[in-house]
Structure 1
Amino acid sequence: MEGEKKPALLSRPSPSFRLRCASLNAVRLRRIFDLFDHNGDGEITVEELALALDRLGLGADLTDLRATIDGYIQPGHQGLAYEDFEKLHSALGEALFGQEVVGDDEAGVREEEDEDMEEAFKVFDEDGDGFISAAELQAVLAKLGLPEGKSMARVMEMICSVDRNHDGRVDFLEFKDMMRSIAVKSS
């Protein structure tokens, strides 16, 4: 794009901004899009993006945000369609981290995938005890503004759906199996 500016959204790059496993990254990016698309119309407006960033504690200046994403919004649209959001994500990733390198070594890819899943697991495991409790899951869902975060009964249903050893919480292996099944279903 002509006259592209460097993104002003992130002051400090996060190593988990772009997952190294393409299938997990695609699933994650789609989920982020759906979370940010507050009214479910298939587009993320600058206001919806600002609201989502605020809820995540990553508030951004609305003028900077608008300047960064306006070039990605297609003519006639009010916000970013999913394809536009993918392009923005890719551009931000390249600007912050350089070109994405994809390795051919399957063992290395699996190891990187596990590292990415560990990072994701830590987001939910707020107390660092190696388990995601119902309270921790509810807290994260509430921070994201998801309706499931308001109902402990719904949170318990979510836990039970992946809790193979029936201890009432999700360990890393259960989390990893759940994430892999999501990646396979969406491929």
Structure 2
Amino acid sequence: MSRLGTGDLRRIFKNLDKNGDAQVSLKELKRLLEKIGVHQNVDELKLSIGIPSLDFDELLYFYESISSERTMGSGSLELPEGNEGDGDQETDLAEAFKVFDLNDDGFISCEELQNVLSRLGLWDERSGIDCNNMICAYDTNSGGRLDFEEFKRMMLITIP
């Protein structure tokens, strides 16, 4: 999956900044992370971020820092070595899959993808994103939705 662009992050920032103060509090950031299946309390976030709130540039820096932790110099997703790491990666991917599989049927449909992207502020009618095309790009069995193996392949592609 490709990295988010600045425009995507700006939309997410605006959606997170509920009180319009041009700052995203750790509580607001915590809500976003919970929507995508990452559960940390505010104290843990404060410890890892070091400040009580983020302006847009700080959110951008935070995103870049967590994105770079997941990538190697070659630009591909870092694959852990050894069986123990593979289990952690598999668990992380399974948790991410659950975030998208809203009806828990073992598949990600276009509607589910659209719903999650909407909650993250990355999709609306004007965004030009075609969820059907996104699904079809990785739907190797032409079922019209992604199963876990197809989702896993999508998440492990090389990032440009």
Q: Please tell me the TM-score bracket, short chain as reference.
A: 0.5 to 0.7
Greater relative contact order (Cα < 8 A, sep 6+):
2
Asked if 1:157 corresponds to 2:136, the answer is: no
* Aligned residue runs from structure 1 range 26-175, under 5 A: 31=4, 35-38=8-11, 45-47=22-24, 68-69=52-53, 79-80=57-58, 82-84=60-62, 106-147=82-123, 154-175=130-151
Moved over 3 A (4+): 30-36, 47-58, 81-87, 148-153
Does residue 153 of structure 2 align to residue 180 of structure 1?
Answer: no
- TM-score normalised by length of structure 2: 0.58
- Indicate the percent of aligned positions where both proteins have the same amino acid: 31
- CA gap of 1:46–1:33, structure 2 versus 1, over 3 A, is farther
* Unaligned residue ranges in structure 2 (runs of 5+): 36-41, 67-79
**Alpha-carbon distance in 1 for matches of 2:145, 2:136:** 8
Structure number with larger C-alpha Rg? 1
**Equivalence for 1:99:** none
- Measured in 2, the distance between the counterparts of 1:35 and 1:53 equals 18
Give the secondary structure class of the aligned counterpart of 1:37. Answer: helix
CA contact (8 A) 2:12 2:122 kept: no
Residue identity matched to 1:185: I
With normalisation by structure 1, the TM-score equals 0.51
RMSD: 4.2
Q: Aligned AA for 2:106?
A: G
Classify 1:152/1:127 alpha carbon distance in 2 versus 1 (closer, same or farther; 3 Å). farther
Amino acid across the alignment from 1:68: P
Aligned counterparts of 1:48 and 1:151: Cα–Cα separation in 2:
26
Partner SS state of residue 156, structure 2: helix
Which is richer in helix? Answer: 1
* Unmatched tracts of structure 1, length 5 or more: 1-23, 90-103
1:152–1:79 CA distance, 2 compared to 1 (3 A): closer
